[in-house]
Structure 1
């Protein structure tokens, strides 16, 4: 089965494509152009966030493009995230605003973007109270039919265990993390696997420019040996460990290539990739209480 159709059945009973399109920094006219190409080559899952500032553009684009590609709302998977400034009792209102911007009737998945709140210090114990309140009000939104599934992003084992101990009867179905050979946490992976929570990798290709893992000697060597692109190797590294991916892409070539991950990386090469120098390109959630 082609990877573009591979899915994972989440704890909520709904399925999510294992490869989706990340839309961070895709704005304005680029949204319509990129989503048009993505739908044409087979993407059916799209990731955004309130703080990306592109929810309205994505909503308008999908409203125009779904009929063009003979698709209905039920054929695609839309996920977005709570702005870290909107933790607490206002979380449901924030979700409703995202839903209005995206013009999609319901959200497939809504994530708490960050375990901390921008309204308090990352070292404040108030963060736990605020994210717990956020979850409580998001559960209400789920019960009201506004969102089908709830998840989190940037939750390390401590944050996840706290949530699981007080989740108001609704466990998170997914945890989105920076995840690539230079940045992964075996303890977190084991916890998610044990609890049935899907890990989803953002920035699965690493950083940009000369710092990108696409230029790493180990990655390029494995890619050459397998006859694949460095990007395909990095995405397959995740998928081979049952970690979903949401790579970005704008060109038709990159969008197509990022779906072509139906191959196996030999265990010896997986070990080489696992031992790449560790580097984090984005937020560090380990500093948040």
Structure 2
């Protein structure tokens, strides 16, 4: 699965990436990344709050030569959450620490992870100030070459409108929760109209809640097509030209999640898009002012 999308920054991002949320131990990081690279993943998604950047950097330094790969063959995403009293120097320091942890001279994509300040202080009066200050600093880091592309995560239309009104550089990517139980078609249209690539997280729901993967309609479709529920969910997003970041720790699941070379019929796509179940499995940015 080598398909990619051309970002508004001029760089290409693989449509299928490997998510590393909650994968922290050094041993596990080495194991999953070895399986992921062997399976064909070339995009690794992490974040400051995942606390695994350092292990990922170590693993890639060891594993890339094993698979005859260079740094430029890999696309790396990381993210930070704005914090109270955060200065431009603080943001620069966080990004440079990510570079050091990941043992790289540049990061392909860096995101503002959340539109509010850290600690999910949704109604804090300075949310707008800190997310805009953070974006201004990421623009400078992008211009310096330390970051190839910049973007956001969990931004709604109103957050994006605010950003667009205040800055000349718009995000290359908006990473949001996206699956048949939770998808904002107005947000998708807005992003496409403004040249922002939509990337999905939690495509399979939550690691702790399996109601999405056990949805009767999704199971029925999976059985009819001879695929797993996870493959159906991932293909549904991919077929909309939306990026995906499946996470798995076993070799079989890692391979399964990238084996998506099939097509969902139009009626199946419509059925999944119009499911009556509406549920979020991750944090909700609607509460952030």
Residue among 80, 83, 86 paired with 1:85: 83
Cα distance change of structure 1 residues 106 and 180 upon mapping to structure 2, 3 Å threshold: same
Q: What is aligned with 1:241?
A: 240
Q: What is aligned with 1:10?
A: 7
Cα distance change of structure 1 residues 119 and 230 upon mapping to structure 2, 3 Å threshold: closer
Residue among 47, 57, 62 paired with 1:49: 47
Residue 272 of structure 1 deviates from its aligned partner by 1.9
SS of the residue 1:258 aligns to: helix
SS of the residue 1:242 aligns to: coil
Residue 221 of structure 1 deviates from its aligned partner by 0.4
Aligned residues: 285
Residue among 14, 17, 22 paired with 1:20: 17
Give the whole-Å Cα distance in 1 for the aligned partners of 2:55 and 2:120.
31
**What whole-Å deviation, never above 9, does each CA across 1:118-158 have from its counterpart, x for those lacking one?**
27841133111111100111111111111000000000110
**What whole-Å deviation, never above 9, does each CA across 1:61-88 have from its counterpart, x for those lacking one?**
0011111111000000000001343755
Give the whole-Å Cα distance in 2 for the aligned partners of 1:257 and 1:161.
38
Residue 209 of structure 1 deviates from its aligned partner by 5.0
Residue among 59, 64, 67 paired with 1:61: 59
Give the whole-Å Cα distance in 2 for the aligned partners of 1:285 and 1:253.
33
TM-score normalised according to structure 1 size: 0.95
- Is the 1:205–1:212 contact (alpha carbons within 8 Å) kept by the matching residues of 2? no
Q: Which runs of 5+ in 2 are unaligned?
A: none
1:134-149 alignment, distance < 5 Å: 134-149=134-149
The answer to whether the aligner puts 1:101 opposite 2:101 as a matched pair is: yes
Residue 208 of structure 1 deviates from its aligned partner by 3.2
The answer to whether the aligner puts 1:128 opposite 2:131 as a matched pair is: no
Q: What is aligned with 2:199?
A: 200
Cα distance change of structure 1 residues 199 and 257 upon mapping to structure 2, 3 Å threshold: same
Give the whole-Å Cα distance in 1 for the aligned partners of 2:166 and 2:173.
16
Q: Which runs of 5+ in 1 are unaligned?
A: none
**What whole-Å deviation, never above 9, does each CA across 1:224-257 have from its counterpart, x for those lacking one?**
1111111110001101111100000122211111
Residue 94 of structure 1 deviates from its aligned partner by 1.1
Range 106-115 or range 96-105, more displaced? 96-105
Q: What is aligned with 1:221?
A: 220
Q: What is aligned with 2:171?
A: 172
Give the whole-Å Cα distance in 1 for the aligned partners of 2:105 and 2:270.
44
Give the whole-Å Cα distance in 2 for the aligned partners of 1:31 and 1:120.
27
**What whole-Å deviation, never above 9, does each CA across 1:159-205 have from its counterpart, x for those lacking one?**
011111222x3221000001100111111001001011111111101
